[in-house]
Amino acid sequence: MNYPELIRARYSVRSYRETPIEPEKLEKVLEAGRLAPTAANFQPIRIYVLQSAEALEKIRSLTRCAFNAPTVLLIAYDADAQWSSPLEAGIASGQQDASIVATHMMLMARELGLGSCWVNFFPNTETAHAFGLPENEKPVLLMPMGYPAADAAPAPRHFESKPLAELVRYL
């Protein structure tokens, strides 16, 4: 599958089979995240792989958006290790870096026949405490991942995109 086909084929999977992800496939997904660019190559990202029964039960108690996936990635950044702009106070790269890493992993998962879903609907601070993350590590998103269930399908609005003319401005 070429890249345009891959990005068109990817959708947010919200129903998974119980089948675990093979370690070699998960390793490829994580490696795609490792290779993603980050500001100044500081690599402040922390990826927590939630797969144990205890970890999955815990994340499922915190959000309904784990979708019973056999693996959930908790993607965070180290606020002490992120790049900060010398030009403007309060501008830093942690959330952007986490987003770039997550996108690389999401697309690699699709390439490998896995489904995933980008989840922001979870209590970030409570989740950090529940999993014992250090104070300087800030959760950005969850990514349930696994093999799509037979009934998995794109959400009705998945194929709706605004025209480029509404999104792009040439200056």
Residue pLDDT, tens place only, 67-119: 999 999 999 999 999 999 999 999 999 999 999 999 999 999 999 999 999 99
- Prediction pTM value: 0.96
d(CA 133, CA 16): 27
pLDDT at position 163: 97
Helices (H), 84-170: 94-111, 124-130, 164-167
| Fold (CATH) for 3-150 | NADH Oxidase (3.40.109)
> So where are the chain's domains?
3-150
| pLDDT tens digits along 48-73 | 999 999 999 999 999 999 999 999 99
In the chain, how many H helices and how many E strands? 6, 4
